[in-house]
């Protein structure tokens, strides 16, 4: 996962050929260009069907379904763990990364005046969870500022490590950041933090299905590693995993106490009484689909299409490319100074892009010019990015 020194836009001249079946696998509104897979995913038809079957079985016999559910969840977890190179006893299923990070933060002791380290590329809700946890403990959150144009992962790591002090207790870092789609929590940075005695929580919301994941051994080199299955792994919403390194497993504090509590990790984290467990039970169908398509082939398609989209935004809309993470189906560009610098303006631009260009993208505010992120998935086509680039060129000069 090495970032190149310069934004990786070169392959864009050559968008990938569509993969077979790509138009029939989804039920997305064909009138809209959905260039924001990274936010909410899109559930393929076979996975929707699997979940519908599970819900029908539940409604035929609610008692039987819930009595068997803990063991069925354990079997689904084993399949999910195998696909992520992990072990079923070392990860728990959760509803999403927001929840998984909250569980992790709640499980690590934090003392008065200790520090929780985050970056300004972190996901808002996750940073808020850090702030609440820190406030309750009398600790502080240290927010490391990293230029969106920082050339590579070494530059990012340098900034993070420079902020570590003897008081730094926890670091919550993105494997792939939400606004900027870049790597922060690289294996080298995690190892350096571990050496300094810092407990690491990795927000890997975008990793499963999007990047090669190997949770073998520990939790991806971190103490806690949280990844969504409902973004790039084609699972129904809400499905995610929380992988936990060995010393922490007995310490994990579920947000909800349940009948499974005495069975320890991971069951005590998973069971939350009467709840819709069908996303977890259907998640293996999403992973099986990726396997059938070919994980490498899918990633290559998405990477090349996203790079192509970024190049069009540079060439046709005059926007500046941000450094990219090779192999990922997301890219980001910087908007001009004065555009989308505040939350309301970023939201207004997203709305305008949808209303005027029939296109869904993610826009996040950033001082000095907001950031627009595009995604690429099986169902996207090069012409959708061209429409966005040409439309943005007009919109931004209005």
Ligand X SMILES: Cc1ncc(COP(=O)(O)O)c(C=O)c1O
Q: Does 180 bind ligand X (CB under 6 A)?
A: no
The answer to whether the beta carbons of residues 147 and 370 sit under 8 Å apart is no
Stretch that binds ligand X, among 198-206, 209-217, 292-300, 366-374 (CB under 6 A): 198-206
Q: Give the whole-angstrom CA distance, residue 295 versus residue 298.
A: 5
CA distance 238 to 236: 6
Residue 378 CB, nearest distance to ligand X (Å)? 19
* Interface with ligand X, residue 65, by CB under 6 A: no
Nearer to ligand X, 242 or 314 (CB): 242
Judged by CB under 6 A, which stretch of 147-155, 200-208, 268-276, 382-390 contacts ligand X? 200-208
Using CB under 6 A as the binding rule, whether residue 372 contacts ligand X is answered as no
Residue 203 interacting with ligand X (CB under 6 A): yes
CB of 67 to ligand X, least distance (A): 29
Q: Of 20-28, 96-104, 152-160, 373-381, which segment contacts ligand X by CB under 6 A?
A: 96-104
Q: Which stretch binds ligand X (CB under 6 A): 71-79, 94-102, 216-224, 255-263?
A: 94-102
> Among 57, 38, 56, 106, which residue's Cα sits nearest to residue 375?
38
**Number of shown-chain residues binding ligand X (CB under 6 A):** 12
Question: Judged by CB under 6 A, which stretch of 93-101, 295-303, 332-340, 345-353 contacts ligand X?
Answer: 93-101
Shorter beta-carbon distance to ligand X: residue 205 or 372: 205
Q: Per-residue x/- marks for ligand X, 205-224, CB under 6 A?
A: xx------------------
Contact between 36 and ligand X by CB under 6 A: the answer reads no
Give min distance, CB of 98 to ligand X, in A. Answer: 3
If binding is defined by CB under 6 A, does position 325 make contact with ligand X?
Answer: no
Closest separation in Å from C-beta 204 to ligand X: 8
**For residues 369 and 97, what is the distance between their CA atoms, to the nearest angstrom?**
28
Residue from 228, 359, 375, 380 in contact with ligand X (CB under 6 A): 228
- Check binding of 359 to ligand X (CB under 6 A): no
Task: Judge contact between 123 and 139, C-beta under 8 A.
Answer: no
Candidates 26, 65, 123, 277; binder of ligand X (CB under 6 A) is 123
Phi, psi of 361, deg, nearest 5: -135, 170
Q: Rounded to whole angstroms, how far apart are CA atoms 221 and 315?
A: 39
96 touching ligand X, by CB under 6 A: yes
How far apart CA 28 and CA 379 sit, in angstroms, is 9
Shortest Å distance, C-beta 228 to ligand X: 5
Closest listed residue to residue 282, CA positions, set 233, 348, 334:
233
126 touches ligand X (CB under 6 A):
yes
- DSSP assignment string, 111-173: -TT-EEEEETTS-HHHHHHHHHHHHHHT-EEEEE---TT--SHHHHHHHHHHT--TTEEEEEE
Nearer to ligand X, 96 or 200 (CB): 96
97 lies in the binding site for ligand X (CB under 6 A):
yes
Q: Quote the least distance from Cβ 68 to ligand X, whole Å.
A: 27
Q: Site for ligand X (CB under 6 A): which residue of 3, 36, 51, 98?
A: 98
Helix (H) or strand (E) holding 207: none
Q: How far apart are CA 51 and CA 10, in angstroms?
A: 40
Radius of gyration (C-alpha) of the chain in whole angstroms:
21
Which residue, 203 or 303, has its beta carbon nearer to ligand X?
203
Does residue number 328 form part of the binding site for ligand X (CB under 6 A)?
no
Q: Give yes or no for residue 375 binding ligand X (CB under 6 A).
A: no
Minimum separation from the CB atom of position 262 to ligand X (A)? 28
CB contact set of 290 (below 8 Å; sequence gap of 6+): 209, 233, 234, 298
Concatenating the DSSP letter of every residue in 27-50 gives ---TTSEE--HHHH----HHHHHH
Three-class SS of residue 75? Answer: helix
From first CA to last CA, the distance across the chain in angstroms is 39
Under the rule (CB under 6 A), what is the footprint of ligand X?
39, 96-98, 123, 126, 174, 178, 203, 205-206, 228
């Amino acid at each position: 996962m090495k970032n190149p020194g310069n934004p990786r836009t070169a392959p864009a001249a050559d968008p990938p050929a569509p993969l077979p079946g790509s138009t029939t696998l989804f039920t997305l509104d064909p009138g809209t260009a959905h260039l924001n897979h990274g936010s909410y995913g899109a559930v393929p038809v076979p996975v929707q069907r699997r979940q519908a079957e599970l819900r029908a079985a539940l409604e035929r016999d609610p008692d039987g379904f819930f009595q068997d559910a803990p063991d069925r969840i354990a079997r689904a977890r084993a399949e999910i763990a195998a696909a992520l190179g992990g072990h079923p006893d070392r990860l728990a299923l959760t509803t999403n990364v927001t929840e998984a990070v909250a569980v992790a933060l709640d499980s690590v002791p934090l003392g008065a005046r200790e520090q929780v380290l985050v970056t300004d590329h972190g996901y808002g809700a996750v940073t808020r969870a850090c702030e609440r946890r820190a406030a309750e403990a009398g600790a502080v959150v240290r927010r490391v500022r990293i230029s969106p144009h920082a050339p590579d992962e070494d530059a990012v790591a340098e900034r993070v490590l420079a902020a570590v002090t003897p008081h730094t207790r926890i670091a919550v870092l993105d494997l792939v950041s939400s606004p900027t789609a870049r790597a922060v929590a690289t294996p080298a940075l995690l190892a350096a933090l571990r050496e300094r005695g810092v407990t690491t929580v990795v927000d890997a919301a975008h990793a499963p299905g999007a990047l090669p994941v190997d949770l073998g051994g520990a939790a991806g080199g971190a103490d806690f590693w949280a990844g969504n299955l409902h973004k790039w792994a084609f699972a129904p919403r809400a499905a995610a995993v929380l992988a936990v390194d060995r010393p922490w497993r007995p310490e994990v504090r579920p947000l909800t106490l349940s009948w499974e509590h005495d069975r320890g990790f991971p069951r005590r984290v998973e069971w939350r009484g009467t709840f819709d467990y069908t996303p977890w039970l259907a998640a293996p169908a999403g992973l099986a689909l990726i396997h059938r398509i070919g994980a490498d082939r899918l990633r290559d398609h998405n990477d090349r299409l996203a790079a192509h989209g970024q190049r069009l935004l540079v060439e046709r809309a005059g926007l500046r490319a941000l450094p990219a993470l090779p192999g990922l189906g997301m890219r980001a560009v910087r908007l001009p100074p004065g555009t989308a610098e505040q939350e309301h303006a970023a939201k207004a631009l997203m709305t305008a892009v949808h209303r005027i260009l029939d296109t869904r993208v993610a826009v996040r505010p950033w001082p000095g010019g907001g950031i627009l992120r595009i995604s690429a998935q099986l169902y996207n086509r090069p012409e959708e990015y061209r429409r966005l680039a040409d439309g943005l060129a007009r919109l931004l000069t209005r």
